[in-house]
Amino acid sequence: MAFKFNWGHGLATAIAMFVIFISFFVYKTLADPNYNHALVSEEYYKEELHYQNEIDRLENANKLKQDIVINHTSKGLEFVFPSGFDYQKISGLLKLQRISNAELDFEKEIKLDSLTYLIPDNSLVGGYYNLKLNWEYDGIPYQLKQKISY
């Protein structure tokens, strides 16, 4: 008896090939260490509880007459604080979160020698970042949130 290949066999073969194809990609993304499945934030829910404080800091920053200016220079990423402020009274925390790779995230405490703050060029890798700058002046908290390309 000769084997006859009909449309039912073709349909079963196509479905089996599709299942193998999808299974390969599922295995590849779950088992390959090159794919990073990191969360945006490790303490997402804890940060969510303090969201009203963030809204208040953003509103304080919106009330300023002059915003912080961000310049991409040959030396690196430069932040220029408002000119009416005393740089010695400014303190804060700068976070640059790399969207594509959590290992390239950057966090630095701000200590100023002038109204400009510079992140050296060799500290950052080119790409897109979420910028979050929390700073305080005379007891008033401010925040700058922005997406930047370096």
Q: Name the strand (E) or helix (H) holding 96.
A: strand 90-98
Q: Quote the pLDDT of residue 39.
A: 56
Dmax (CA) of the chain: 95
Q: Quote the pLDDT of residue 41.
A: 63
Q: Kindly give the confidence (pLDDT) of every residue in the chain, 150 residues in length, as a single tens digit, with 9 standing for 90 and above.
A: 677 889 999 999 999 999 999 999 888 888 776 666 565 566 777 777 778 888 899 999 899 888 889 988 888 889 998 888 888 888 899 998 887 777 788 888 988 888 898 888 888 888 888 889 998 998 899 999 988 887
Domain 44-149 grouped into CATH 2.60.40:
yes
Q: Quote the pLDDT of residue 143.
A: 92
| Alpha-carbon gap, residue 150 to 140, rounded angstroms | 29
Q: Quote the pLDDT of residue 142.
A: 92
Listed by start position, the domains of the chain span 1-35, 44-149
73-96 per-residue burial string, b: 16 or more CB within 10 A, e: under 16: eeeebebbbeeebeeeebebebeb
Q: Quote the pLDDT of residue 35.
A: 65
